[in-house]
Amino acid sequence: MTLRKFLPKNWISGALAVWLIVPVVIAFWFMFGHDIKAGLFSLLEKKTVVYSNVAVEIGESGKHFAQQYKEMVDVNDRNPGSHFYRLNWPDDALGAVTVKNGSSSLVLDSVLSVLADADDTYPAEGIAGLSISMGLPPRNNVLHDEARLKFYALLQRIQEAGWKRWIDPGMPRLKGADALRYQMGEFENGARLMSLDPGYMPSLDTWMKIGDMTGWRFYLNDVYMNVQFMRDGGKMDSNLPGAYFLSIALESKDSFQRSEQASENRPRWKELYPVVRKRQSAERTDAEEKLRSLGFKIDAEYRNPDE
Protein backbone atom coordinates (compact mmCIF):
# COMPACT_ATOMS: atom_id res chain seq x y z
CA MET A 1 0.00 0.00 0.00
CA THR A 2 1.45 3.37 -0.96
CA LEU A 3 1.06 6.26 1.46
CA ARG A 4 1.90 9.03 -1.01
CA LYS A 5 -1.68 10.28 -0.81
CA PHE A 6 -1.39 10.79 2.95
CA LEU A 7 1.34 13.42 2.58
CA PRO A 8 0.53 17.12 2.77
CA LYS A 9 0.31 18.75 -0.64
CA ASN A 10 3.26 20.94 -1.60
CA TRP A 11 5.10 19.76 1.48
CA ILE A 12 8.52 21.00 0.34
CA SER A 13 8.89 24.67 1.10
CA GLY A 14 11.72 26.80 -0.14
CA ALA A 15 12.83 27.47 3.40
CA LEU A 16 13.19 23.81 4.31
CA ALA A 17 14.85 22.99 1.00
CA VAL A 18 17.56 25.56 1.71
CA TRP A 19 17.77 24.33 5.28
CA LEU A 20 18.55 20.82 4.04
CA ILE A 21 20.89 21.66 1.18
CA VAL A 22 23.40 23.72 3.16
CA PRO A 23 24.09 21.04 5.83
CA VAL A 24 24.42 18.38 3.11
CA VAL A 25 27.13 20.43 1.39
CA ILE A 26 28.92 20.91 4.71
CA ALA A 27 28.57 17.21 5.50
CA PHE A 28 30.09 16.32 2.14
CA TRP A 29 33.03 18.57 2.95
CA PHE A 30 33.45 16.93 6.34
CA MET A 31 33.45 13.43 4.91
CA PHE A 32 35.53 14.07 1.79
CA GLY A 33 37.21 17.42 2.33
CA HIS A 34 40.63 15.96 3.13
CA ASP A 35 40.97 15.04 -0.54
CA ILE A 36 40.16 18.49 -1.89
CA LYS A 37 40.89 21.03 0.82
CA ALA A 38 44.49 21.60 -0.24
CA GLY A 39 43.38 23.02 -3.57
CA LEU A 40 40.48 24.98 -2.14
CA PHE A 41 42.20 26.57 0.81
CA SER A 42 45.16 27.61 -1.28
CA LEU A 43 42.80 30.35 -2.44
CA LEU A 44 42.28 31.61 1.11
CA GLU A 45 44.58 33.69 3.25
CA LYS A 46 46.45 31.74 5.91
CA LYS A 47 45.17 32.69 9.37
CA THR A 48 47.65 32.54 12.20
CA VAL A 49 45.42 33.54 15.16
CA VAL A 50 42.87 31.02 16.41
CA TYR A 51 40.23 31.97 18.96
CA SER A 52 39.26 29.16 21.30
CA ASN A 53 35.79 30.64 21.87
CA VAL A 54 33.68 32.66 19.46
CA ALA A 55 30.28 34.26 20.10
CA VAL A 56 27.72 34.31 17.27
CA GLU A 57 24.28 35.84 17.04
CA ILE A 58 21.67 36.14 14.32
CA GLY A 59 21.11 39.81 13.55
CA GLU A 60 24.66 40.88 14.42
CA SER A 61 26.38 43.18 11.96
CA GLY A 62 28.54 41.17 9.59
CA LYS A 63 31.17 43.91 9.57
CA HIS A 64 31.28 43.89 13.36
CA PHE A 65 31.62 40.10 13.43
CA ALA A 66 34.46 40.18 10.89
CA GLN A 67 36.25 42.94 12.76
CA GLN A 68 35.90 41.22 16.14
CA TYR A 69 37.59 38.06 14.87
CA LYS A 70 39.52 39.58 11.97
CA GLU A 71 42.64 37.48 12.55
CA MET A 72 40.61 34.33 11.98
CA VAL A 73 37.68 35.21 9.70
CA ASP A 74 37.80 34.66 5.95
CA VAL A 75 35.43 37.07 4.21
CA ASN A 76 33.94 36.27 0.81
CA ASP A 77 32.22 39.29 -0.73
CA ARG A 78 32.83 38.38 -4.34
CA ASN A 79 29.15 37.55 -4.91
CA PRO A 80 27.19 40.76 -5.51
CA GLY A 81 24.65 41.39 -2.79
CA SER A 82 25.95 38.88 -0.25
CA HIS A 83 28.76 38.45 2.25
CA PHE A 84 30.00 35.18 3.75
CA TYR A 85 32.14 34.94 6.87
CA ARG A 86 33.92 31.67 7.62
CA LEU A 87 35.94 30.50 10.60
CA ASN A 88 37.81 27.18 10.64
CA TRP A 89 39.55 25.50 13.55
CA PRO A 90 42.46 23.08 13.07
CA ASP A 91 41.86 19.41 13.76
CA ASP A 92 44.08 19.49 16.82
CA ALA A 93 42.43 22.55 18.40
CA LEU A 94 38.68 22.49 17.85
CA GLY A 95 36.84 25.57 19.00
CA ALA A 96 33.87 26.48 21.15
CA VAL A 97 31.00 28.65 19.97
CA THR A 98 28.55 30.55 22.16
CA VAL A 99 25.21 30.97 20.41
CA LYS A 100 23.53 34.12 21.73
CA ASN A 101 19.84 34.85 21.31
CA GLY A 102 18.45 37.59 23.51
CA SER A 103 19.02 36.50 27.09
CA SER A 104 19.67 32.92 25.96
CA SER A 105 23.20 31.57 25.73
CA LEU A 106 24.16 28.13 24.40
CA VAL A 107 27.77 26.90 24.40
CA LEU A 108 28.80 24.36 21.75
CA ASP A 109 32.17 22.62 21.83
CA SER A 110 34.15 20.45 19.41
CA VAL A 111 33.35 22.98 16.66
CA LEU A 112 35.02 22.52 13.29
CA SER A 113 33.77 25.62 11.49
CA VAL A 114 31.25 28.44 11.38
CA LEU A 115 29.77 29.95 8.22
CA ALA A 116 27.74 33.17 8.52
CA ASP A 117 25.95 35.00 5.74
CA ALA A 118 24.46 38.46 5.32
CA ASP A 119 22.29 39.78 2.48
CA ASP A 120 22.99 43.32 1.30
CA THR A 121 19.39 43.60 0.10
CA TYR A 122 18.35 43.70 3.76
CA PRO A 123 21.31 45.39 5.47
CA ALA A 124 19.41 46.15 8.67
CA GLU A 125 18.98 42.40 9.30
CA GLY A 126 22.72 41.81 9.66
CA ILE A 127 23.76 38.15 9.74
CA ALA A 128 20.66 36.20 8.72
CA GLY A 129 22.10 32.69 8.62
CA LEU A 130 24.67 30.66 10.54
CA SER A 131 25.87 27.12 9.95
CA ILE A 132 27.94 25.52 12.71
CA SER A 133 29.69 22.21 12.05
CA MET A 134 30.75 20.01 14.97
CA GLY A 135 32.09 16.61 15.83
CA LEU A 136 31.28 14.25 18.67
CA PRO A 137 34.43 13.52 20.69
CA PRO A 138 36.51 11.48 20.73
CA ARG A 139 36.95 12.51 17.11
CA ASN A 140 36.13 9.71 14.65
CA ASN A 141 36.28 7.17 17.47
CA VAL A 142 33.09 7.43 19.53
CA LEU A 143 31.00 4.41 20.46
CA HIS A 144 27.55 4.64 18.88
CA ASP A 145 25.71 4.33 22.17
CA GLU A 146 27.89 7.05 23.65
CA ALA A 147 27.14 9.21 20.60
CA ARG A 148 23.42 8.65 21.11
CA LEU A 149 23.64 9.79 24.73
CA LYS A 150 25.80 12.80 23.89
CA PHE A 151 23.52 13.87 21.05
CA TYR A 152 20.39 13.81 23.20
CA ALA A 153 22.26 15.59 25.97
CA LEU A 154 22.93 18.34 23.42
CA LEU A 155 19.22 18.48 22.50
CA GLN A 156 18.44 18.77 26.22
CA ARG A 157 20.86 21.67 26.62
CA ILE A 158 19.29 23.43 23.65
CA GLN A 159 15.88 23.20 25.31
CA GLU A 160 17.28 24.32 28.65
CA ALA A 161 18.58 27.42 26.85
CA GLY A 162 14.98 28.27 25.98
CA TRP A 163 14.60 26.82 22.49
CA LYS A 164 11.20 25.22 21.74
CA ARG A 165 10.50 22.38 19.35
CA TRP A 166 9.24 23.65 15.99
CA ILE A 167 7.29 21.54 13.48
CA ASP A 168 6.78 22.82 9.95
CA PRO A 169 3.21 24.26 9.91
CA GLY A 170 2.30 22.00 7.01
CA MET A 171 3.43 18.84 8.79
CA PRO A 172 1.39 16.76 11.25
CA ARG A 173 1.80 17.35 14.99
CA LEU A 174 3.41 14.13 16.15
CA LYS A 175 5.60 13.45 19.17
CA GLY A 176 7.66 10.68 20.70
CA ALA A 177 7.65 7.34 18.93
CA ASP A 178 4.92 8.48 16.52
CA ALA A 179 7.12 11.26 15.13
CA LEU A 180 9.96 8.79 14.62
CA ARG A 181 7.62 6.20 13.10
CA TYR A 182 6.39 8.78 10.60
CA GLN A 183 9.90 9.97 9.79
CA MET A 184 11.19 6.43 9.26
CA GLY A 185 8.06 5.05 7.58
CA GLU A 186 7.12 4.40 3.98
CA PHE A 187 6.09 7.95 3.29
CA GLU A 188 8.33 8.54 0.29
CA ASN A 189 10.33 11.73 1.04
CA GLY A 190 7.72 13.80 2.85
CA ALA A 191 8.42 12.47 6.31
CA ARG A 192 12.09 13.39 5.96
CA LEU A 193 11.07 16.92 6.91
CA MET A 194 9.51 15.82 10.19
CA SER A 195 11.02 17.53 13.23
CA LEU A 196 11.69 14.70 15.66
CA ASP A 197 10.79 14.98 19.33
CA PRO A 198 13.94 16.01 21.28
CA GLY A 199 12.42 14.57 24.46
CA TYR A 200 12.16 11.05 23.04
CA MET A 201 15.35 8.98 23.06
CA PRO A 202 15.17 5.80 20.97
CA SER A 203 16.95 2.54 21.72
CA LEU A 204 20.44 1.98 20.32
CA ASP A 205 19.03 -0.36 17.68
CA THR A 206 16.56 2.29 16.48
CA TRP A 207 19.19 5.02 16.72
CA MET A 208 21.36 3.11 14.25
CA LYS A 209 18.47 3.11 11.77
CA ILE A 210 17.84 6.85 11.83
CA GLY A 211 18.96 8.28 8.51
CA ASP A 212 21.64 10.89 7.96
CA MET A 213 20.50 14.54 7.97
CA THR A 214 17.36 13.78 9.98
CA GLY A 215 16.31 17.01 11.69
CA TRP A 216 15.38 18.25 15.16
CA ARG A 217 14.04 21.79 14.74
CA PHE A 218 13.64 24.59 17.27
CA TYR A 219 12.58 28.23 17.54
CA LEU A 220 13.40 31.09 19.90
CA ASN A 221 13.17 34.88 19.67
CA ASP A 222 12.58 35.08 15.90
CA VAL A 223 15.32 32.54 15.10
CA TYR A 224 14.90 29.03 13.69
CA MET A 225 17.36 26.22 14.46
CA ASN A 226 17.85 22.91 12.69
CA VAL A 227 20.05 20.21 14.30
CA GLN A 228 21.20 17.31 12.12
CA PHE A 229 23.84 14.58 12.18
CA MET A 230 25.67 12.42 9.68
CA ARG A 231 27.68 9.26 10.26
CA ASP A 232 30.65 7.65 8.56
CA GLY A 233 28.90 4.90 6.60
CA GLY A 234 31.96 2.67 6.90
CA LYS A 235 31.72 2.58 10.71
CA MET A 236 28.18 1.36 11.32
CA ASP A 237 28.84 -1.67 13.55
CA SER A 238 26.97 -0.71 16.73
CA ASN A 239 29.56 -2.59 18.82
CA LEU A 240 32.51 -0.64 17.42
CA PRO A 241 33.38 3.07 17.43
CA GLY A 242 31.89 5.33 14.77
CA ALA A 243 32.40 8.88 13.48
CA TYR A 244 29.75 11.59 13.70
CA PHE A 245 29.37 15.01 12.13
CA LEU A 246 26.82 17.47 13.53
CA SER A 247 25.36 20.50 11.81
CA ILE A 248 23.44 23.28 13.54
CA ALA A 249 21.81 25.77 11.16
CA LEU A 250 20.33 29.05 12.40
CA GLU A 251 18.21 31.43 10.35
CA SER A 252 16.32 34.62 11.14
CA LYS A 253 12.54 34.57 11.04
CA ASP A 254 12.44 37.21 8.32
CA SER A 255 14.91 35.35 6.09
CA PHE A 256 13.24 31.99 6.66
CA GLN A 257 9.71 33.19 5.97
CA ARG A 258 10.83 35.33 3.03
CA SER A 259 12.26 32.24 1.37
CA GLU A 260 8.72 30.79 1.20
CA GLN A 261 8.07 33.25 -1.63
CA ALA A 262 9.22 33.23 -5.24
CA SER A 263 12.14 35.61 -5.72
CA GLU A 264 10.03 38.20 -7.51
CA ASN A 265 7.56 38.28 -4.60
CA ARG A 266 10.07 38.56 -1.78
CA PRO A 267 9.91 42.36 -1.53
CA ARG A 268 6.23 41.83 -0.54
CA TRP A 269 6.81 38.79 1.63
CA LYS A 270 5.25 40.24 4.80
CA GLU A 271 2.07 40.96 2.90
CA LEU A 272 1.98 37.53 1.26
CA TYR A 273 3.18 35.27 4.07
CA PRO A 274 -0.22 34.92 5.83
CA VAL A 275 -1.47 33.17 2.70
CA VAL A 276 1.37 30.65 3.03
CA ARG A 277 0.45 29.90 6.65
CA LYS A 278 -3.22 29.47 5.74
CA ARG A 279 -2.29 26.91 3.09
CA GLN A 280 0.07 25.12 5.46
CA SER A 281 -2.63 24.95 8.15
CA ALA A 282 -4.96 23.23 5.69
CA GLU A 283 -2.21 20.77 4.72
CA ARG A 284 -1.58 19.93 8.38
CA THR A 285 -5.28 19.33 9.05
CA ASP A 286 -5.59 17.08 6.01
CA ALA A 287 -2.48 15.06 6.93
CA GLU A 288 -3.54 14.64 10.56
CA GLU A 289 -6.99 13.37 9.65
CA LYS A 290 -5.52 10.68 7.43
CA LEU A 291 -2.75 9.70 9.84
CA ARG A 292 -5.29 9.11 12.61
CA SER A 293 -6.78 6.38 10.46
CA LEU A 294 -3.36 4.69 10.44
CA GLY A 295 -3.11 4.62 14.22
CA PHE A 296 -1.00 7.76 14.76
CA LYS A 297 -1.78 9.87 17.80
CA ILE A 298 -1.90 13.57 17.02
CA ASP A 299 -0.47 15.95 19.61
CA ALA A 300 -3.43 18.34 19.62
CA GLU A 301 -1.84 20.42 22.41
CA TYR A 302 1.14 21.41 20.28
CA ARG A 303 1.31 25.02 19.11
CA ASN A 304 4.04 26.37 16.86
CA PRO A 305 6.22 28.72 18.94
CA ASP A 306 6.49 31.24 16.07
CA GLU A 307 2.74 31.85 15.85
Smallest CA-to-CA distance from 248 within 126, 145, 125, 109 is with 109
Residue 272 lies in a domain: yes
CB 116 within 8 A of CB 122: no
Number of domains in the chain: 1
CB 73 within 8 A of CB 124: no
Q: Report the alpha-carbon distance of residue 162 to residue 262 in Å, rounded.
A: 32
Q: Report the alpha-carbon distance of residue 48 to residue 53 in Å, rounded.
A: 15
| pLDDT mean across residues, the chain | 87
Supply the pLDDT for residue 139.
85
What does the pLDDT look like over 133-162, one tens digit per residue? 999 999 889 999 999 999 999 999 999 999
What does the pLDDT look like over 89-99, one tens digit per residue? 998 889 999 99
Helix (H) or strand (E) holding 107: strand 104-119
Residue 301 lies in a domain: no
- Which DSSP category does 185 fall into? S
- In sequence order, which ranges of the chain are alpha helices (DSSP H)? 14-32, 37-41, 62-68, 144-160, 176-184, 204-207, 253-258, 269-292
In this model, does residue 306 exceed pLDDT 90? Answer: yes
Q: Which three-class secondary structure state does DSSP give residue 123?
A: helix
Helix (H) or strand (E) holding 186: none
Query: 55: pLDDT confidence band, cut at 50, 70 and 90?
Result: very high
* 250 bridge partner residues: 130, 225
Residue 1 lies in a domain: no
Query: Could you tell me the pTM of the whole model?
Result: 0.85
Host domain of residue 149: 13-292
Strand pairing category for 95-101 and 223-231: unpaired
Smallest CA-to-CA distance from 281 within 144, 171, 200, 128 is with 171
Residue 299 lies in a domain: no
Residue 230 lies in a domain: yes
Residue 4 lies in a domain: no
Residue 114 lies in a domain: yes
CB 151 within 8 A of CB 136: yes
Q: Report the alpha-carbon distance of residue 23 to residue 18 in Å, rounded.
A: 9
Residue 225 lies in a domain: yes
